[in-house]
Amino acid sequence: MSAPDLTVKIGSMTMKNPVITASGVFGYGEEFFGLADYGELGALVLKTVTREPRAGNPPASRTAETPAGMVNAIGLENVGIEAFLSDKLPVALGYGTNVVASIAGDTPEDFAHCADRLDSSEVAAIEINISCPNVKKGGMAFGVDAEASAEVVAAVRGATKKPIIAKLTPNVTDVAAVAVACAGAGAEAISLTNTFSAMVIDVPTRRPVLAAGTGGLSGPAIRPAAVYRVYQVARAVRVPVIGMGGIWNGNDALEFILAGASAVAVGTVLYADPAAGSRVVAGIRTYMEQQGAKRIGELVGAVRIGE
């Protein structure tokens, strides 16, 4: 039997396997250098950048550990698009796999500016972060509104020929409607979910643990909720869906794939196991061999409902 084919295409970006890093968690890529071979992954999605550098939310604390998860409110601290292009991107490209930039902004024009600057770079695709729950302006404010989301996608579409991935928030009533609007405006893929809005309170002091008050929950705690949203979106759009939310191993990734995801991202798990991405790839490959699946596409959306 020939080795199973894990290749995935997202627009013009071809990935050797469906496993990528989730934005934010992986920083600019350079921080993890040496702890695993990240060149083995399908793509590396780097930390969200904005037009100008941002300091992010006040510290102490920006993160809180919770059962099977963590809540963060970093607030898009980043070096800005120019330093990203000159200092960060060249290092990440050194991993030898697709590099995807993630962008955010306060206005559609901010997004378009970043996309325009990235258009001539070597990034393989651009992810639009319209789902960050931890900033006051922009971020999730776009992602909770289908029309506003489409407006951002359209603005970016006008600024770049790179594949566009719209990253959605689960903190909406109908995530499929937002996905449909983004695909209609020119997004070549939909990724979800970003974190679930969350809060942790320190009972002795009666104060929120996070300095920002609230944050976003990630990790295995959100996985079933994320799988369901991926299932909803995959049934609603024709473009590829990238699923994420608490993936820890190959089996978790396969849940997302069977629900309809063409690719999957590892996030929080990287803090525990920096080599989790390769472990997930191996788990998917083993399952394909056991099932006799020749191409990963055979498994996408292959959940058996009502059989």
Which residues are known catalytic residues?
A: 132
Q: Does 56 bind another protein (CB under 8 A)?
A: yes
Q: Which stretch binds another protein (CB under 8 A): 31-39, 133-141, 152-160, 197-205?
A: 31-39
Peptide bond between residue 120 and the one before it cis (omega within 30 degrees of 0): no
Smaller CB separation from another protein, 5 or 228: 228
Q: Does 213 bind another protein (CB under 8 A)?
A: no
For the chain, the residue count is 307
- Amino acid identity at 267: G
Closest separation between CB of residue 46 and another protein, Å?
10
Q: Does 169 bind another protein (CB under 8 A)?
A: no
What contacts 105, CB < 8 A, 6 or more positions away?
Answer: 50, 51, 111, 113, 114, 138
Q: What is the CA radius of gyration of the chain?
A: 18
Q: Does 63 bind another protein (CB under 8 A)?
A: yes
Smaller CB separation from another protein, 37 or 174: 37
Give CA–CA dist 243/126, Å, rounded. 16
Q: Which stretch binds another protein (CB under 8 A): 126-134, 258-266, 270-278, 298-306?
A: 270-278
- Amino acid identity at 67: P
Q: Which residue from 14, 65, 147, 161 is in contact with another protein, where contact means CB under 8 A?
A: 65
Give CA–CA dist 57/60, Å, rounded. 10
Q: Which stretch binds another protein (CB under 8 A): 57-65, 107-115, 117-125, 168-176?
A: 57-65
Peptide bond between residue 160 and the one before it cis (omega within 30 degrees of 0): no
- Amino acid identity at 247: I
Give CA–CA dist 74/70, Å, rounded. 12
Which residues sit at the interface with another protein, rule CB under 8 A?
24-28, 30-37, 47, 53-56, 58-65, 67-70, 72, 74, 77-79, 91, 211, 219-220, 246, 248-249, 252, 268-275, 279, 283
